[in-house]
């Protein structure tokens, strides 16, 4: 951002963008990164005791944890295991077959959104971004391997570090895939803004940008 002429800025991200945004805030805040906004967050569970009021989870928290467990243990998360262990094998297949890449992406775009009415042009735009990028489909697949095989821990471990000097905003979408208790967001940094939306799934910046 500095090389583009922006000495001060705010960043936003979700999913892998959540990790990137956290890394930017950690490295460049607060001098350059003045604040950051997240969705699809994965905070650490804070230490609690039975008599701690924060240990009491709300109905929304319990519903979110059930949805999270369904996603992580019900088979829907199988893509992550494959992409984080054998990315190059999958990359050859998806590069060799544009139709295969379309099927791989379309299934997730439909399953992970909140009944979003995808058009053919939108689907083809998404597929084209993956297929015609310089590194092709392999680029996004290798990210998952690299996130899980860092020499000094996984990307998710690093992202759980408390960042105390950069204001944080968090958006929660009830149709998202990972929904951890909102109180856990406090383990990430000073939360100055939160929102909860019944509309929107895993891709809210595409599904409902006016909400995020």
What is the spatial distance between Cα 156 and Cα 80, in angstroms, rounded to a whole number? 14
pLDDT band at 129 (very low <50, low <70, confident <90, very high): very high
- Is pLDDT of 29 > 60? yes
Question: Does the pLDDT at position 211 exceed 80?
Answer: yes
Domains of the chain by residue range: 9-207
92-114 pLDDT per residue, tens: 999 999 999 999 999 999 999 99
Specify whether domain 9-207 bears CATH 3.30.230.70: no
Task: Tell if the pTM clears 0.75, that is, is over it.
Answer: yes
Predicted pLDDT of residue 159: 78
Separation between Cα atoms, residue 68 and residue 100, nearest integer Å: 28
Q: Kindly state the average pLDDT of the residues 45-62.
A: 73
Better-scored residue on pLDDT, 205 or 159: 205
Residue 52 predicted with pLDDT over 70: no
**DSSP string of the chain, one letter each residue:** -TTTT-SSEEEEEETHHHHHHHHHHHHHTTTTEEEEEEES--PPPPP--TT-GGGS--HHHHHHHHHHHHHHHSSTTHHHHHHTT-HHHHHHHHHH-HHHHHHHHHHHHHHTSSS----HHHHHHHHHHHHSSTTTTHHHHHHHHHHH--TT--HHHHHTS---SS-EEEEEETTSS----GGGGGGTS-EEEEEEESS--S-HHHH-TTT-
**pLDDT on residue 122:** 98
State the Rg of the chain over Cα: 18
* Confidence (pLDDT) at 31: 96
**Mind listing the pLDDT tens digit for each residue in 170-196?**
999 999 999 999 999 999 999 999 999
Is residue 50's pLDDT more than 80? Answer: no
Residue among 116, 108, 106 nearest 209 (CA): 116
């Amino acid at each position: 951002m500095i090389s583009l002429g922006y000495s001060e800025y705010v960043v936003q991200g979700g999913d892998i963008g959540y990790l990137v945004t956290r890394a930017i805030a950690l490295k460049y805040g607060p001098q350059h990164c003045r604040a950051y906004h997240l969705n699809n967050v994965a905070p650490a569970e804070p230490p609690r005791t039975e008599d701690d009021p924060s240990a009491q989870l709300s109905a929304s928290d319990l519903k979110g944890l059930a949805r999270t467990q369904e996603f992580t243990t019900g088979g829907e998360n199988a893509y992550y295991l494959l992409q984080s262990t054998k990315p190059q094998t999958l990359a050859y297949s998806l590069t060799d077959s544009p139709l295969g890449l379309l099927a791989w992406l379309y299934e997730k775009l439909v399953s992970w959104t909140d009944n979003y009415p995808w058009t053919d042009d939108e689907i083809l735009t998404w597929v084209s971004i993956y297929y015609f990028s310089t590194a092709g489909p392999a680029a996004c697949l290798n990210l998952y391997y690299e996130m899980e095989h860092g020499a000094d821990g996984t990307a998710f471990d690093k992202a759980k570090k408390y960042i105390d000097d950069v204001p944080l905003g968090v958006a929660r979408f009830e149709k998202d895939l990972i929904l951890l208790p909102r109180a856990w967001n406090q383990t990430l940094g000073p939360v100055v803004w939160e929102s909860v939306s019944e509309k929107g799934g895993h891709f809210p910046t595409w599904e409902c940008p006016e909400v995020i």
